[in-house]
């Protein structure tokens, strides 16, 4: 018996050891050790945690306005399937979002920005309000989906993904399913000619091809029930598929996604990480350009400074380089010392300028939003107007003791073909930072002076005759606010590459009936009025002042630009005073803003109503077609004098003239 018991115990022990070994082997298969250079295939939950994407997904859900269960049914499942598909792939080799997980983060960022922009759109365009309400959720999802998967074809067209399975290694084909569906335990990302089109340089993928892949992968990423729901709106589905297949880049959905994509790229280039895959072979173009520029300055000779015929001029903490010469010299230097591969040619100097601007290496021109400045350079025996690029010295030299001496002369930026008449002032840290459209708030006195400076307004804006002479400030009704269910679909703001134009004021005043009034003695607008208009211009340009949306202080109609009165004037006076010069208003609270309102009225830019009233009434048209609340507005006629392009009219506002028409009938 003891022998039997011993044998039985030994057998049990061996069986237990065998079970343990099998368990360990199974665990090793399920959780394999990841060799260096390889990445694990992760679940959507694990990817979310690893990349810290929770906040982006939460922001997307808030913008949809859906309950959690409804969001998860369509948006959540699509995001999870997209995550499983792209894993930790990069969005580029060495440009934007080049770090592990960059493609996923770029997609979520673009979708989040696109949903924000979608709120400023009336979609679908040109339909009745009740149709807009009925179809809004499908169009919102269409915008989201287009933004999320606009780059999903990159793994197929631009990258070479090596996958490891239990039976060896191979190449992942995205059309065969996700990596997990292909039995992949780990993968590594390769860049090179295996995915490059014939004749292209190594490391350069087929960047046009990936834009057409979204349509092929659509059904893999979106639940079938969601696709069936989307297909009930043929117009939306047509725009979505046209964009994803690369056939139409100009429809409403395409415009939103393109703007969102650019903004995601811009923010990443300015503030994102510089991490890249170890297998990335291409050095970022910006690094090559900046390193070459620094070496050229250190070596001397290639870029002479501070003399007639020089490549650049130093003034108060910046170097002003002659734009074309700088591009040509840097290109030649790289070709001689490294390679010209990947460097845009002489006919594409603007691409070099864009790269320096995208990464914040130079200071952009706030008048144009671009890199080029028109500058007058003056010295003894030298006076010439040049197109220059403006670089902060700290971007080019290791420390202040290496800075070159200032130019003995004057560097005078030109504004709208007119010089300021003053030498370039020393830039502060804030002024020296690169600025881009939308990056600054309108609620700062500095912004109010960007286009119409408080200390030089008369020199930069031509005077305009006053059509009505001195006018009394008539009492205005308290403005009413758009209710939450009124005009909830908005119109697009001007794209980033459309700038606010300088004022183009007519030579003769226009009467309300359209007839030209004989010229009177010209009386230009006051400095206060110009400061107000400059603040308004800048705010509309960079998004600091909303328009055509719920609660906005500015709307557009066929008659002109509508300023909610007295709210917008009160808002200005609270921040900058009644004269816009920073002096606090001394008016009673119920009169706050009437001083600046009076100055704007005296400028004569607005449209007079019956009996020379300054305030007009508009009514909100609700989504059910019924009338909503009323707005009291001042109408700035011919708004194209002040901004370009003029946004479309808000279709949810109609001029309220019932009382006027009734009086006319009685007469």
Tens digit of pLDDT for each residue in 578-632? 988 878 888 887 788 999 999 999 998 999 877 788 889 888 876 666 666 788 8
Tens digit of pLDDT for each residue in 61-106? 999 989 999 999 999 999 999 999 999 998 877 778 878 888 999 9
Nearest alpha-carbon partner for 316 in 392, 215, 259, 413:
392
Alpha helices, H only, 94-189: 102-118, 129-148, 154-157
Report how far apart the first and last C-alpha atoms of the chain are (Å, whole number).
126
Alpha helices, H only, 272-375: 285-299, 323-337, 349-358
Chain centroid to Cα 542, Å, comes to: 10
User: What SS3 state is found at 217?
Assistant: helix
Indicate whether 16 belongs to any domain.
no
pLDDT at residue 472 above 80?
Answer: no
User: Which residue's entry shows tokens 């420390």?
Assistant: 399
- In terms of residue numbers, what domain contains 200? 39-271
User: What SS3 state is found at 278?
Assistant: coil
CA distances from 638 to 469, 605, 652 (A): 19, 8, 20
Chain centroid to Cα 489, Å, comes to: 20
Cα–Cα distance measured from residue 538 to residue 463, given in angstroms and rounded to the nearest whole number: 20
Residue 128 is predicted with a pLDDT of 83
Give the rounded percent of residues in the chain with a pLDDT score beyond 90.
Answer: 28
653 and 532 within one domain? yes
Q: How confident is the model at residue 280 (pLDDT cuts 50, 70, 90)?
A: low
User: What SS3 state is found at 524?
Assistant: coil
pLDDT at residue 8 above 80?
Answer: no
Residue 140 is predicted with a pLDDT of 95
Strand extents, DSSP E, 416-468: 418-419
249 and 295 within one domain? no
Cα–Cα distance measured from residue 138 to residue 124, given in angstroms and rounded to the nearest whole number: 10
569 and 593 within one domain? yes
pLDDT at residue 479 above 70?
Answer: no
495 and 386 within one domain? no
Nearest alpha-carbon partner for 280 in 537, 95, 435:
95
Indicate whether 30 belongs to any domain.
no
- Is 246 exposed, middle or buried (CB count within 10 Å of its CB: 0-12, 13-18, 19+)? middle
Indicate whether 4 belongs to any domain.
no
Indicate whether 406 belongs to any domain.
yes
Tens digit of pLDDT for each residue in 167-199? 788 888 888 888 988 888 899 988 764 443 333
Residue 562 is predicted with a pLDDT of 94
Per-residue exposure over 151-178, b if at least 16 CB sit within 10 Å of its own CB, e if not: bbbbbbbbbbbbbbeeeeeeebebeeeb
Which H or E run includes 575? helix 567-576
232 and 256 within one domain? yes
Indicate whether 92 belongs to any domain.
yes
Domain boundary among 424, 459, 491: 424
* HEC secondary structure over 223-272: CHHHHHHHCCCHHHHHHHHHHHCCCCCCCHHHHHHHHHHHHHHHHHHHHC
603 and 579 within one domain? yes
Domain boundary among 271, 293, 325: 271
| Distant-in-sequence, close-in-space partners of 26: CB < 8 Å, separation ≥ 6 | none
603 and 466 within one domain? yes
**Cβ atoms of 26 and 79 closer than 8 Å:** no
Residues forming beta bridges with residue 162, ordered by sequence position: 171, 188
Indicate whether 349 belongs to any domain.
yes
**Cβ atoms of 618 and 653 closer than 8 Å:** yes
Tens digit of pLDDT for each residue in 35-54? 888 999 999 999 999 999 99
Residue 24 is predicted with a pLDDT of 38
Average pLDDT of the segment spanning 554-569: 92
Residue 39 is predicted with a pLDDT of 92
CA distances from 433 to 146, 205, 362, 371, 563 (A): 34, 34, 8, 13, 32
Torsion of CA 460, 464, 469, 472, to 10 degrees: -60
Average pLDDT of the segment spanning 339-362: 83
As given in the structure block, the two tokens for residue 449 are: 């002076």
131 and 204 within one domain? yes
3-state helix, strand, coil in the chain (%, to 5): 40, 15, 45
114 and 55 within one domain? yes
User: What SS3 state is found at 218?
Assistant: helix
Tens digit of pLDDT for each residue in 414-469? 874 444 433 333 332 222 333 333 333 334 333 333 333 323 332 333 332 232 33
Indicate whether 186 belongs to any domain.
yes
Torsion of CA 259, 260, 265, 267, to 10 degrees: 110
Three-point CA angle 543, 544, 548, nearest 5° = 60
Q: How confident is the model at residue 665 (pLDDT cuts 50, 70, 90)?
A: very low
Q: What is the mean pLDDT of the chain?
A: 74
What total of structural domains would you count in the chain? 3
Cα–Cα distance measured from residue 499 to residue 372, given in angstroms and rounded to the nearest whole number: 14
């Amino acid at each position: 018996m003891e022998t039997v018991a011993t044998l039985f115990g030994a057998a049990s022990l061996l069986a237990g050891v065998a079970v343990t070994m099998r368990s360990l082997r199974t665990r090793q298969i399920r959780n394999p050790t990841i060799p260096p250079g390889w990445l694990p295939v992760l679940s959507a939950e694990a990817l979310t945690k690893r990349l810290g994407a929770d906040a982006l997904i939460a922001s997307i859900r808030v913008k949809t306005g859906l309950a959690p269960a409804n969001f998860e049914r369509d948006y959540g499942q699509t995001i999870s399937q997209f995550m499983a598909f792209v894993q930790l792939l990069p969005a580029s080799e060495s440009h934007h979002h080049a770090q592990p997980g960059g493609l996923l983060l770029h997609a979520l960022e673009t979708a989040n920005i696109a949903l924000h922009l979608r709120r400023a759109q009336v979609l679908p365009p040109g339909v009745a309000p009740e149709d807009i309400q009925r179809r809004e959720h499908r169009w919102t999802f269409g915008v989201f989906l287009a933004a999320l998967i606009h780059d999903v074809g990159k793994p197929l067209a631009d990258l070479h993904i090596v996958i490891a399975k239990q039976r060896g290694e191979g190449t992942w084909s995205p059309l065969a399913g996700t990596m997990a569906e292909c039995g992949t335990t780990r993968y590594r990302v390769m860049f090179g000619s295996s995915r490059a089109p014939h004749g292209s340089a190594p490391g350069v993928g087929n960047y046009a091809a990936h834009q057409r892949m979204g349509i092929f992968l659509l059904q893999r990423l979106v639940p079938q029930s969601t696709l069936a729901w989307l297909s009930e709106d043929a117009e939306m589905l047509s725009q979505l598929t046209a964009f994803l297949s690369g056939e139409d880049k100009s429809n409403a959905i395409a415009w939103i996604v393109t703007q969102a994509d650019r903004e995601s790229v811009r923010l990443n280039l300015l503030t994102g990480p510089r991490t890249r895959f170890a297998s990335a072979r291409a050095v970022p173009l910006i690094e090559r350009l900046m390193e070459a520029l620094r070496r050229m300055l250190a070596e001397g000779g290639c870029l002479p400074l501070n003399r007639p015929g020089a490549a650049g001029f130093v003034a108060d903490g910046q170097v002003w380089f002659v734009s074309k010469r700088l591009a040509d010299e840097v290109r030649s230097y790289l070709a001689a010392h490294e390679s010209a591969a990947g460097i845009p040619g002489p006919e594409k100097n603007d691409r070099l300028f864009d790269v320096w601007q995208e990464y914040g290496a130079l200071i952009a021109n706030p008048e144009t939003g671009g890199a080029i400045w028109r500058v007058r350079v003056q010295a003894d025996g030298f006076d010439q107007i040049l197109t220059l690029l403006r670089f902060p010295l700290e971007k080019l030299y290791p420390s202040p003791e290496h800075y070159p001496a200032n130019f003995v002369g004057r560097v005078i930026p030109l504004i709208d073909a007119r010089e300021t008449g003053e030498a370039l002032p020393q830039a502060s840290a804030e002024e020296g930072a690169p600025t881009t459209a939308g990056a600054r708030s309108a609620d700062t006195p500095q912004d109010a002076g960007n286009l119409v400076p408080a200390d030089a307004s008369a020199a930069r804006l031509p005077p305009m005759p006053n059509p009505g002479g001195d006018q009394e400030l008539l009492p205005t009704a308290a403005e009413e606010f758009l209710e939450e269910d009124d005009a909830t679909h908005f119109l697009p703001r001007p794209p980033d590459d459309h700038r606010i134009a300088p004022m183009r004021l007519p030579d003769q005043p226009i009467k309300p009936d359209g007839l030209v009034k004989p010229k009177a003695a010209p009386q230009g607008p006051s400095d206060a009025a110009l400061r107000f208009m400059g603040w308004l211009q800048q705010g509309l340009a960079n998004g600091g002042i909303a328009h055509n949306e719920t609660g906005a202080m500015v709307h557009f109609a066929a008659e002109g630009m509508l300023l909610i009165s007295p709210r917008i004037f009160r808002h200005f006076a609270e921040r900058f005073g009644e004269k816009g010069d920073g002096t606090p208003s001394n008016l009673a609270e119920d009169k706050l803003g009437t001083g600046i309102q009076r100055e704007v009225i005296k400028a004569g830019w607005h449209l007079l109503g019956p009996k020379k009233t300054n305030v007009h009434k508009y009514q909100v048209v609700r989504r059910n077609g019924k009338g909503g609340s009323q707005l009291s507005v001042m109408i700035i006629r011919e708004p194209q004098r002040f901004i370009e392009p003029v946004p479309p009219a808000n279709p949810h506002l109609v001029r309220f003239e019932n009382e006027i028409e009734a009086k006319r009938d009685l007469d």
